[in-house]
Amino acid sequence: MPICARAATVVAVLLAALAAPAIATATTCKNYAGDFTAVAPAACSGVICTHGTLTGGFPSTYDFVADVVNPDNSFTGTSVITTTNGGLIFGEDAGQLTPTGPTTASFVTNVHIVGGTKQYENASGTFVATGELSFITGETVGTYTARICKGRGHDD
């Protein structure tokens, strides 16, 4: 076999070997959208807490806790989304409240998915939720979009 042919074969084998881990860890990403509603839970371990329902493309329930609300009305917190099959998605939230009246605010929150259980164990992606919050009742209503990426073998 000529030297050029052997070199080309070695390069092809090396490229295949380098690509194998990428193929093994390939992810499947899907986009979702829908509406949500929430109420204040009976107990709250943070500054603002909600327990809600997602409808539309990703039906599930969620629990949100804002740990910090800053003087500029930005906030950070955590979310746990429970899917219809019992899988959990864990998220780190960052968002902004904009007062719309003495007891209400509009908000946008970006939920960075940091993992989960079952098919979401190695999940990544984001949820973006926009809506209205009543400080009196704790009720929220709004819409969401999401992009959820799951590791290989978790296409369901």
Cβ–Cβ under 8 Å, residues 143 and 44: no
Instruction: Name residue 129's beta-bridge partners.
Output: 109, 144
pLDDT surpasses 90 at 8: no
Q: How is residue 112 written in tokens?
A: 């960075």
From the list 44, 50, 46, the residue with the least C-alpha distance to 81 is: 50
Q: What is the DSSP string of 58-83?
A: S-EEEEEEEEEE-TTSEEEEEEEEEE
**pLDDT at residue number 152:** 56
Cβ–Cβ under 8 Å, residues 36 and 56: no
Tens of pLDDT, residue by residue over 82-130, are 999 999 999 999 999 999 999 999 999 999 999 999 999 999 999 999 9
Higher-confidence residue of 3 and 43: namely 43
Cβ–Cβ under 8 Å, residues 117 and 88: yes
Residues across the chain: 156
Domain boundaries, given as residue ranges, for the chain: 26-151
The mean pLDDT of the chain is: 86
Higher-confidence residue of 22 and 3: namely 3
**pLDDT at residue number 20:** 40
pTM over 0.85: no
Q: Which of 5-9, 31-35, 50-54, 56-60 bottoms out in mean pLDDT, i.e. has the lowest?
A: 5-9
